Structure 1
Amino acid sequence: MLSYQHAYHAGNLADVHKHALLAQALDYLVQKPKPLSYIETHAGRALYDLSGTEAQKTGEAAQGIAKVAGWFPAEHPYARALGAARAEGGATAYPGSPMIARTLLRDADRMHLAELHPQEHAALERAMPGADVRKTDGLQMALSLCPPEPRRGLCLIDPSYELKDEYATMPKVVSQLHRKWNVGVIVLWYPILTNGAHKAMTGPLDALKIDGARRHEVRFPPAREGHGMVGSGLYVVNPPWGLEEAARTLGARFASL
């Protein structure tokens, strides 16, 4: 949706869940010498300032990464991406998923990023030189690219869910992508809301019955009074080795909040 800007939500607890496990998945994939493809359908601006007006207005980062950064030791791939963002943007910088990928991927790997919002797209182009950055519908881009070259890789689908039909659309897109790219790691993020809207999607996702696919959810307190997001979910097709254990470890951290 063209009105959505992630700067208001960057660094919140949902980002911590999503980005920590994305970083672990990519860190595993790059251990093999073969190059890979990284595809992201809703990329945002890649680099955020948590001292900015947007982040300060919602307070979500203050209740998110500012509180839990100590969960991640310096050698953790998510901590490495945080450090790279701060080296580039200052002490209050936060990496979106494209920058996390940029930190962890290698020169031979390829990145394909889509973002429709004009200002976010312009910022993404500035932040991600050398990547294939497109001002286009990200789901259509992913479907047109798959199977990509190189064939190994990961696709992150991270919509705003401001459009109600996105809950119905995502399981269909995941199924299509998996049929076209059966070896690809497909990661779909979704919010867990007090109104239960996400349940319209999780049932159809489970009904896909994709062999080996996993769903991981965490719960957390609302960032402010009346805030509707109280958790974060990931549905992962072809999860890399070690991701389930990493998810369990992270889930135990969230359970302590």
Structure 2
Amino acid sequence: MREELIFEQSRPGRRAPTHAPATLAAIDDLPASMLRQEPPLLPEVSELQVVRHFTRLSQLNFSIDTHFYPLGSCTMKYNPRASNTLAMLPGFLARHPLEPDSHAQGVLESLFDLQELLKAVTGMSGVSLTPMAGAQGEFAGIAMIRAYHLARGDTERTQVIVPDAAHGTNPATATMCGCEAIEIPTGPDGDVDLDALRQVVGPKTAAIMLTNPSTLGVFERRISEIAEIVHAAGGLLYYDGANLN
């Protein structure tokens, strides 16, 4: 059965209960050029329509909440409800990007603590939270690897090895960073085919992009051997952070 768009259910004048702020004094601080001249185009529906509409949509999803989900990549893992509750705290959720630093010390402390925790978990000497999304983080990682090789005069290192069970965005990231994506197969056990890896590494190898656990939901059991092969060829290892947790 087709679920209508929320705008298709809209009827002029239909409303849901609202809890408007007692005062709009804060609007006085906004520049006149930033204020709307007419109301936004929003659906006019009742509260029950909204609840039922999005509940029905959620029931169409194949998710960890309703089914067994063995995939290892990206956001398909289990997120504890306690973590979701913490992320929804007003101090995080309602923070404005233009608020003074003096009002954001709690958030800044949390970010610093997160950086230190990630350093401890990964063994890295530094962590950046600047990338705002997974795609940006992936791009930043390969861009740093590319810059590393260029700084050393290794201008020919333009090949990035991508296993076929790695994150699907890896080839695009390599291309955007001016590199060539070299795909290698995984074996029947889901691990990277080491013979195939040995055949493609060489003086043009910039890095290998690994997703661990892979999109097959398998932890790479021969990761140490992979690291030795790539490092011996002068390349670096990139790990997809979406699977770190």
**TM-score, structure 1 length as denominator?**
0.32
Larger radius of gyration: 2
Q: Larger relative contact order (C-alpha < 8 A, sep ≥ 6)? A: 1
More strand by share: 1
